[in-house]
Structure 1
Amino acid sequence: MSGKTERFYNIVSLATIALVVLPIGIASIVLGFGFGDNPCILCWQERAVMMFISLTTLFILRYGLRPKYLALLIFYCAIGIFMALRHTGGHFLRDIGQGFALEILGFHTYSWGIFVYWMIFICLAIILGFFGGNLVDNEDGEVRYLTKLQGSAFIIYFIVLGINSIQAITQVGPPPFIGQSDPIRFSWTPKDWKWSTQSWSNILSPMSLRGKYHVEKPVIKTQAKRDIAMFESGDELIKVKEVKLPETIIGNITDIDYHPKSKLFALVTDQFYVYILDDKLSDIKAYVHLDNLFSIEIKTLTAVSFIDRNRLMVTGINKSYVILKLDKEAKLKNQYASFKDGTDGILETRRGRFSTVRSKYAYIQSLSFDRETNEFVTLSVPNKKFNKIIATRFSSIDYMLSSEKEVFTNESEFQPHVTSLKIYDSIAYGLAPDNREIIISDNNFSSFTGSILLPVNGDYRGVVIFEKDQFIIIDGNIASYFIN
């Protein structure tokens, strides 16, 4: 055997010892036995993959460098990187200093897996680059003679494997017991051991590749969930007139807003169109067709609110937003990136995403600009996984989160599904067509004064306050005027 080949196997031996002793040995002996740190179920998976990688390198030392062993290493590293990202991903966006378990050089232990697996990938690239033309250096089945250094890699591997097995059997338990999401600290006393099968329910439950982010998109039901409104209601709304909206409007209207100073209405549709109409809802003054995939994806336009007489915000169900400005000098030809089609007179000034904490796993279908606080207000849509409604406020200065609170805190099976929200004179009006009502509250959602029943028949989509004493509710392509 050439000196070059022997040096290669010595390097593999040292790499195996380093992998076994540093991340795996330190995790078990120093952090586990010394500091009482027990790995969670995801930590055990990362650690197991490292043991399989080390075992494969032992096969290389014993039987030579072969393509099948390199293929196994690549396969294990791919699994390891996935597990490390899966584990670390749940903590990436936490506030500074927050995380899980102990730190090494400022990084929590689980995040080191990403570094380790990437280093193994780099080493594999080097091996293939320098030895790719001569991967098989001995006959199939032939056993290599091991030097003392190479033999010590085997000894160290089985010692560390045995130590990890002791920790696993005592702290996790034999099958069918399985690791915990929140393990208690290490103990040599059996009465302090926690053997649990709880995590099996998560493993065996129906899964989605998107995990908690797999949430059904909100759908407005055609029938009310119940015959009575959520709160004590006054008289049913009385229709005074209706206006048929222009036939050139494309898509189903999802929301409406009105600005009394400019005397303009704004409508949005589920086909990403934004329309500006006169105060009679008969003449389209301007419109644009948003490019919903430019820069930031917008899913289904669902709400619109004037910020002032010349600016308005439109949002998608996924909390992405666009701010538009009405400007007579704006030319459609200069807005190619933002708009697919439209007229002059509108330009885009900002596009972004609202970030939340309490309603991260929920969509929205409502938005209103609170002129008293100069904040944008949204209400989340309850779903099967997150049956809560969160009122969220965002600053109009930096568009960042200002406050959140859970509203409608009853344990009812039927949480109101608010599809349109308007705040007028510090009173919030929320259209809940599923419950056939307009919910009335103060603008902080701290007290509810009741609700107004909607007429029985109607495909209600958006609500707006018009000239103080009238509601305008969108019913298909009809704008219906009501008084209470």
Structure 2
Amino acid sequence: MKMKETTVNQIVSLAALALIALPVGIACIVLGYGLGDNPCILCWQERTAMVLVSLIAIFIMRYGLKPKYLGALVFASVYGLWAGYRHSSNHILRDIGQGFGPAILGVHTYVWVMVVFIVVLLFASLLLVLQGDRLSEKEDKHRWTGLNKTTVMVFLVVIGFNIVQAFTQTGPFPFIGQGDPYRMSFDKDKIVWSMDHWPKLSSLSARGSYAIERPDFADMPSSNTPALVNKASLTALNSVSLPSEIKGLATGVSYSPNRDMYAVVTSNNWVYFLSGDLKSVLASVLIDGAFSVEISNLTGVVFDGDSSVLITTDHKSFVRLAYDETAKFEDSYWLFMDGTDGVKELKRSRFSTVRAKYNYIASLGWDVQRQEYLTITLPAKVRNNFIVSRLSGEDFQLNSEAKIGNTSGEYPMITGLVIAEDKAYLLNHSGQQILVMDMENNNLETAISFSEIENPQGLTLVNGQYVVLSGVEGNNKLTFFK
């Protein structure tokens, strides 16, 4: 049954009154004038969206439930929901209890914003459903009630308080406020008008802080600036081409001495288990990167057991596999796109880091003594870092992170990593070096040079020899050095 226009009018009036008096009024008058809380730039966006929704509701009160007002209501609510999501995304994944600004009922205001606009959208949807096939026509004889007048008066009062707060605390255009605002004050010596947060044209990106270029392992930049001065040189003993069955560019290699077996991964999601003489492929699978955790651009592999390997992508997602002669490919059809029998999946998830959050990786190591996986960041034009992350082999969570010391000039591009006892050996792609890092203090101690390796992409140790992977599609090779 269709609601009467007067009923719609009163419901909309009550909703507008609740929106302007509660979230907007409390934020401005109680938190602002009462407790001295000033909005940040994102808070002002959210508050503006609520004011717009309230104003549109007043237009509906005055002129009736028209499609153009409903469209504007949805548009403003979606904008407000986006503003709340944008604000919450900066803080919502912090440790328990942490946040920005005051909390209401244990929830911070920027999260309540999303709740408010979801309620507005649900309210608008319910109002439309109850209208039946046609919208209510405005009745000419309808006169504004006390509720209508109260709504408008409260709206004007709250807007007045907001105008005073905005002008005095934020300032007129082109001042736009602060990301981390000062306490509200009317002392001219304590008021700060800022333009620091205007975006620069060179930094605009749809991905914001995540506008960092992914590595292309077939065309990685090189540098003539070594991380350390070479103190020794390696001699190439022999070079072995990997089997022709390997499809794509090889980006990681590891060796299991107890099984005399290699594992090799390629950037296009193939994983291969090879015999110790490197002449045959024992088993292979093409990982389904779209199933569950997104897996793409494989970059590292390491044996963490005699037959089990952990494989990482450049963005720190990982998959753990095991070579098992009894495993049937058909039993894992939803995990692998192609391949042979002999491989089973044990786990698929993601590594989460803190200092290395905005960096890609191209290496993976396994510390058998500490039962930890190690990754090292790749350099980036923005948010540049040289961080080693240690992740638990038990629950795959972050154990520790540290900045690697004793580098000069540009950060090296580490594409391979292997650990033996208390030393980590880092394959420096850009300098054609193996850097030796002390596992206790994370400092680089020395550098060992090698030569004539095209696109070095992986490093492992085999019987005391350094084995460097040359990643060239169609001609992947392992070169043994001593």
Question: Please, what TM-score do these two structures have when normalized by structure 2?
Answer: 0.94
Match of 1:465 in 2: 461
After superposing the two structures, state which structure 1 stretch, 369-378 or 268-277, moved more: 268-277
Residues 90-129 of structure 1 mapped to structure 2, 5 A cutoff: 90-129=90-129
Q: Percent identity?
A: 38
Residues 248-287 of structure 1 mapped to structure 2, 5 A cutoff: 248-287=245-284
Give 1:193's aligned amino acid: I
Give 1:267's aligned amino acid: V
Match of 1:446 in 2: 442
Deviations 1:281-304 (A, max 9, x none): 122222222112211111211111
Q: 1:53 to 1:415 in 2, by over 3 A?
A: same
SS in 2 for 1:83: helix
Give 1:480's aligned amino acid: T
Give 1:234's aligned amino acid: K
SS in 1 for 2:33: helix
Deviations 1:192-242 (A, max 9, x none): 10100111135x55432222122211235566411x532121233211211
SS in 1 for 2:130: helix
Q: What is the alpha-carbon distance in structure 2 between the residues aligned to residue 283 and residue 410 of structure 1?
A: 40
Q: 1:448 to 1:371 in 2, by over 3 A?
A: same
Q: 1:408 to 1:449 in 2, by over 3 A?
A: closer
The partner residue of 2:151 within 143, 150, 153 is 153
SS in 2 for 1:76: helix
Q: 1:296 to 1:323 in 2, by over 3 A?
A: same
2:18 is equivalent to residue 18 of structure 1: yes
Would the aligned equivalents of 1:278 and 1:285 in 2 still touch at CA under 8 Å? yes
Q: 1:20 to 1:211 in 2, by over 3 A?
A: same
| Segments ≥4 residues shifted beyond 3 Å | 142-145, 219-224, 408-412, 469-473
Deviations 1:79-115 (A, max 9, x none): 0111111111111111110001011111111211111
Match of 2:369 in 1: 372
Q: Offset of 1:143 from its aligned partner?
A: 9.8
Q: Offset of 1:3 from its aligned partner?
A: 9.8
Give 1:150's aligned amino acid: N
Deviations 1:99-152 (A, max 9, x none): 01011111111211111111111211121112243425238xx79632222122
RMSD, aligned CA = 2.0
Match of 1:180 in 2: 178
The partner residue of 2:160 within 149, 159, 162 is 162
Q: Offset of 1:409 from its aligned partner?
A: 6.7
SS in 1 for 2:248: coil
Q: What is the alpha-carbon distance in structure 2 between the residues aligned to residue 143 and residue 387 of structure 1?
A: 68
Give 2:425's aligned amino acid: Y
Match of 1:244 in 2: 241
Give 1:173's aligned amino acid: G
Q: What is the alpha-carbon distance in structure 2 between the residues aligned to residue 127 and residue 53 of structure 1?
A: 15
Match of 1:395 in 2: 392
Q: Offset of 1:450 from its aligned partner?
A: 1.0
Q: Offset of 1:184 from its aligned partner?
A: 0.6
Match of 2:30 in 1: 30
After superposing the two structures, state which structure 1 stretch, 256-265 or 213-222, moved more: 213-222
Q: 1:315 to 1:83 in 2, by over 3 A?
A: same
Would the aligned equivalents of 1:255 and 1:474 in 2 still touch at CA under 8 Å? no
Match of 1:45 in 2: 45
SS in 2 for 1:455: coil
Match of 1:218 in 2: 215
Match of 1:69 in 2: 69
2:333 is equivalent to residue 332 of structure 1: no
Q: Offset of 1:45 from its aligned partner?
A: 0.5
Match of 2:422 in 1: 426
Q: 1:54 to 1:99 in 2, by over 3 A?
A: same
Would the aligned equivalents of 1:291 and 1:339 in 2 still touch at CA under 8 Å? yes
Q: 1:207 to 1:27 in 2, by over 3 A?
A: same
Would the aligned equivalents of 1:224 and 1:436 in 2 still touch at CA under 8 Å? no
The partner residue of 1:199 within 192, 197, 200 is 197
Q: What is the alpha-carbon distance in structure 2 between the residues aligned to residue 352 and residue 5 of structure 1?
A: 54
Q: What is the alpha-carbon distance in structure 2 between the residues aligned to residue 322 and residue 222 of structure 1?
A: 24
Residues 341-380 of structure 1 mapped to structure 2, 5 A cutoff: 341-380=338-377
After superposing the two structures, state which structure 1 stretch, 2-11 or 87-96, moved more: 2-11
Would the aligned equivalents of 2:302 and 2:364 in 1 still touch at CA under 8 Å? yes
After superposing the two structures, state which structure 1 stretch, 315-324 or 208-217, moved more: 208-217
After superposing the two structures, state which structure 1 stretch, 211-220 or 398-407, moved more: 211-220
Would the aligned equivalents of 1:62 and 1:145 in 2 still touch at CA under 8 Å? no
Q: Offset of 1:257 from its aligned partner?
A: 0.8
Q: What is the alpha-carbon distance in structure 1 between the residues aligned to residue 226 and residue 89 of structure 2?
A: 42
Deviations 1:305-341 (A, max 9, x none): 0011111111111111111112221111212122222
Give 2:150's aligned amino acid: S
Q: 1:48 to 1:145 in 2, by over 3 A?
A: same
SS in 2 for 1:200: coil
Q: Offset of 1:386 from its aligned partner?
A: 1.7
Q: Offset of 1:472 from its aligned partner?
A: 3.9
Would the aligned equivalents of 1:463 and 1:474 in 2 still touch at CA under 8 Å? no
The partner residue of 1:315 within 308, 312, 316 is 312
SS in 2 for 1:192: coil
Q: 1:271 to 1:143 in 2, by over 3 A?
A: farther
Give 1:183's aligned amino acid: P
SS in 1 for 2:193: coil
Can you give the 5+ residue segments of structure 2 that lack an aligned partner in the other structure? none
Can you give the 5+ residue segments of structure 1 that lack an aligned partner in the other structure? none
Would the aligned equivalents of 2:454 and 2:470 in 1 still touch at CA under 8 Å? no
Q: What is the alpha-carbon distance in structure 2 between the residues aligned to residue 38 and residue 411 of structure 1?
A: 44
Give 1:117's aligned amino acid: F
Q: What is the alpha-carbon distance in structure 1 between the residues aligned to residue 221 and residue 4 of structure 2?
A: 78
Match of 1:299 in 2: 296
Q: What is the alpha-carbon distance in structure 1 between the residues aligned to residue 325 and residue 43 of structure 2?
A: 60
After superposing the two structures, state which structure 1 stretch, 456-465 or 115-124, moved more: 456-465
Match of 2:470 in 1: 474
Match of 1:135 in 2: 135
SS in 1 for 2:198: helix
